[in-house]
Amino acid sequence: MLTDSKPLLHYKNIASPTDIVSRWLLYLSEFQFICEHIPCKENTLADFLSRFPVNRTEISNTPQDEQELILPVVGTHCNTINATSDTSLEISTSTWLKEQADDTQTNEIIQLLKNPSLKDSNNVRGSYIDPTTHILMFKSHRKSQAELLVVPKSLQHKALDICHISHTGLDKTYQIVSNRYYWKRVYIDTKNFVLSCEQCIKNKSFTPKHAAPQSNRIPTRPGDYISVDIKGPLPNSGYVLTVLDHFSKHIVLYSLKNITTETVSKHILNYISIHGRPSQILSDRGLQFTSEVFSLINKTLGIKLSHTSPFHPQTNGQTERLNPPWNQVFSPFRREALTFRMHY
**Ranges of each domain in the chain:** 2-50, 93-203, 225-309+317-325+333-341
Cα 183-186-190 angle, rounded to 5 deg: 140
In this prediction, residue 305 carries a pLDDT of 93
In this prediction the pTM is 0.40
In this prediction, residue 75 carries a pLDDT of 43
In this prediction, residue 295 carries a pLDDT of 93
In this prediction, residue 118 carries a pLDDT of 64
Q: Which CATH number is 225-309+317-325+333-341's, of 3.30.450.40, 3.30.420.10, 3.40.190.290, 3.40.50.1820?
A: 3.30.420.10
**Edge-to-edge, what's the strand order for the sheet holding 304-307?**
251-256, 238-245, 225-234, 280-283, 304-307
Cα 121-125-126 angle, rounded to 5 deg: 155
Nearest to 323 by CA among 261, 241, 237, 259: 241
The pLDDT profile of the chain, 344 residues, written as one tens digit per residue, is 888 888 888 877 888 888 888 888 888 888 888 888 888 888 877 777 776 655 544 444 545 554 454 444 444 444 433 333 444 447 888 888 999 889 888 888 888 888 867 655 566 778 888 888 889 888 877 766 788 999 999 999 999 999 998 889 999 999 999 999 999 899 999 999 999 998 888 887 766 667 666 777 889 899 999 999 998 887 766 888 999 999 999 999 998 989 999 999 999 999 999 999 999 999 999 999 999 999 999 999 999 999 998 888 888 888 888 877 766 666 665 555 445 455 44
DSSP 264-280: HHHHHHHHHHHH---SE
Separation of alpha carbons 110 and 139, rounded Å:
15
Topology of domain 93-203, CATH: Endonuclease III; domain 1 (1.10.340)
Residue type, 197: C
Alpha carbon of residue 341 to chain centroid: 51
Task: Classify residue 288 as exposed, middle or buried by CB count within 10 Å of its CB (0-12, 13-18, 19+).
Answer: buried
Under 8 Å between Cβ of 307 and 283: yes
Asked if omega into 233 is within 30° of 0 (cis), the reply is: yes
Phi-psi group of 118: left, alpha or beta (phi > 0 → left; psi -120 to 50 → alpha; rest → beta): alpha
In this prediction, residue 337 carries a pLDDT of 47
Under 8 Å between Cβ of 194 and 173: yes
CB-side exposure of 184: number of CA atoms within 13 Å? 4
Under 8 Å between Cβ of 302 and 215: no
Separation of alpha carbons 344 and 329, rounded Å:
17
Locate all alpha helices (DSSP H) within 183-249, ordered by sequence: 186-195, 198-203
Separation of alpha carbons 277 and 249, rounded Å:
16
In this prediction, residue 294 carries a pLDDT of 93
Under 8 Å between Cβ of 138 and 127: yes
DSSP state letter for 220: S
